[in-house]
Amino acid sequence: MKQQVLVIIKPDGLIKSLTGSILMKLSEAKLNIIGAKVVKPSRELAEKHYFHMKSKPFFEEIVQYICGQIHKTPRVLALVYQGENAIKKLRRIAGSTNPEEADPTTIRGAYGRITTKGVYENVLHVSGNLEDAEREIKLWFTPEEIVGDIYPVKEIVKEKTNALDWA
Ligand code: ADP
């Protein structure tokens, strides 16, 4: 079954110059990248992304982590992969949530760590299931930023908004 998955290389992945290695590892799944961008996550976006973790004692820490406050680099690389069994394939390459339990040959096993505050700094996010993938992709990307038709779209008339253009 063809699936779409959201992958986020978190700020530790970027600051440690792991982006190339991570993308190379992920390419072993032989999937297609259909969306990619560098994002400065707002607190609102991070809280929506982790809404299912709201009751966890480490919620504030993971929001700060993905926003780049811990690594003083407010950037993540957001990607959408597409292909057969994409979720299972990518999560296998990513490894377990807890980097200490992750197989050492996985991305999290090789590059992740647990901070002294107890946060799992596990380098990347990979959607856990189809429902999460759809919700997360719609949260991080607009239809126009994705190459291909993955979910139904509607045409809207945008109110006049201010935007920046190259001077
Ligand atoms: P995953 O990212 O593997 O889908 P979750 O959605 O359960 O895992 O958790 C979201 C993020 O919260 C994890 O990627 C990790 O950074 C952090 N996290 C999860 N569980 C813990 C934990 N028990 N202690 C500290 N941080 C955690």
* Ligand 1 atom index nearest CA of 128: 4
* Ligand 1 atom index nearest CA of 127: 4
What mean pLDDT is predicted for residues 82-106?
98
Confidence band, pLDDT 50/70/90 cuts, at residue 159: confident
Nearest to 120 by CA among 70, 73, 74, 75: 70
| Residue 62 burial (CB count, 10 A) | 21
The residue contributing the CA closest to ligand 1 atom 15 is 120
- Give me the pLDDT at residue 94, please: 98
- Give me the pLDDT at residue 120, please: 98
- pTM higher than the cut 0.75: yes
What mean pLDDT is predicted for residues 62-77?
97
* Ligand 1 atom index nearest CA of 118: 25
For ligand 1, residues with CB inside 6 Å are: 53, 58, 62, 97, 118-120, 122, 125, 128
Q: Annotated catalytic, 125?
A: yes
Q: For domain 2-145, give the fold.
A: Alpha-Beta Plaits (3.30.70)
CA of 3 relative to ligand 1 center, distance in Å = 22
State how far the Cα of 113 lies from the Cα of 100, in Å rounded to an integer. Answer: 7
- Give me the pLDDT at residue 130, please: 98
